[in-house]
Structure 1
Amino acid sequence: MKVTKSEFVISAVGPDQYPADALPEVALAGRSNVGKSSLINRMLARKNLARTSSTPGKTQQLNYYRANDAVYLVDFPGYGYAKVSKSQRAAFGEMIERYLLNREELKLVLLVVDLRHPPSKDDVSMYEWLQYYNRDVCVVATKADKIPRSRWPKHMKMVKETLGFKPHHSMVLFSSETGLGKDELWETIQSYTHGASETEEAVHGEDTGSSDGDQGQE
């Protein structure tokens, strides 16, 4: 898949700030420092469009990134960061829950986890919550480049067992550093944003392959 145009659009804290162009939206959820910003940069073929940081908890709004004027990637605040105050965590939770429950344009949630470790309690809670409310989910197991290829199956099994992964959901092995899983993830996204034939046309084509992997991690 080839992304020829990508841009940051807005940091939104409520429905009155969400884009009104009715394009399909794909949200990214995951714990702080799991690498969502680097994933977005790799998917959109941009080095620093989504700012990576060594400081967990930096993202505090819903950050909208538009690809080819066809689909939005919506980055959530990372969860599970202890230094964020209880009131701040509550505010984040309310903002995210309102979005997940009410946003008609939302077509898919990418639950981003670290392939190296079992999903956290917060990851499991998010996965169960999304199932309860019948939101479509794709689990993205990132940082695959950090462990030997021979151990990938073992770690994928660990992720699935910890989450209680359901076979009707999607799962993609990913690396922001090497681009592993980029094409597969775009294909998965397209399958859920099928209402937009524009999306298929806009991101269709051979990936020319950007060699500049993102060095930072969110």
Structure 2
Amino acid sequence: MVAELVVSLSGIGSGTLARCAALADELDRRRVPLSLLLAPRRAVPGEASTWLRRRVAAGDALVLHGFDHQPDPSRRAVSLRRWVESSALPAHEAGLRLIAARAALERSGLATDLFTPPSRLASPGTVVALRRHRFAVCADMAGVRDLRTGDVRTGRVRVVGGHSGYLAGVGREARRGGLVRLEVDAAALDRPGARDVLLEAVDLALHHGALPTTYRPPAPYSSTASPRGSTTTSTPSGAVPVRTR
């Protein structure tokens, strides 16, 4: 089995745009697409939204990151409350939040059918609501769920900080043909060595034969051939077509 590599970036906004663009340039040189995790509160018209649209048109995947993130999710009380909320959210409430979150994206000219839950934990009700609202993917703590087929690619998220302690796990996962998921917050890219550690992990996965991809569903949902060996997939109304490399 061939390993797959997904690199995701969160914390995208006007204040972090320069470091996001610098990381994207490094990954472009490696022909590795990004899964761009956008929280609804950050979906505002402006330079960041323009950059996101360009990245999606070039092959990156836009992922709705939760429902209504608070500005400071690092606070323990907020984090714990959201973890409990995520694990117990009923389908009706999740559906209402999804509608509001999608509306926030649309105001910036963005759209997606990909979702990752707050605290990376999706309640059964959230999964039901995602299917009702025609989302294609839910990427949670343990893996990536194709909501159309029910298939799950297992693989835990490895959040990149400023150290390289998890590199052995990346190499091991890639060698055995698993799903390597690397995630970094744009704010962390200011920490000494954090970007270098991420790129080292990417290079290690590629060295072991991992194929770069995104959270976009695989080939069965592709339709028209695109340049450079890419395929164009169906997208929500108003979205920029997404290519998977």
What TM-score, normalized to structure 1?
0.35
Higher helix share: 2
| Structure exhibiting the larger radius of gyration computed from Cα positions | 2
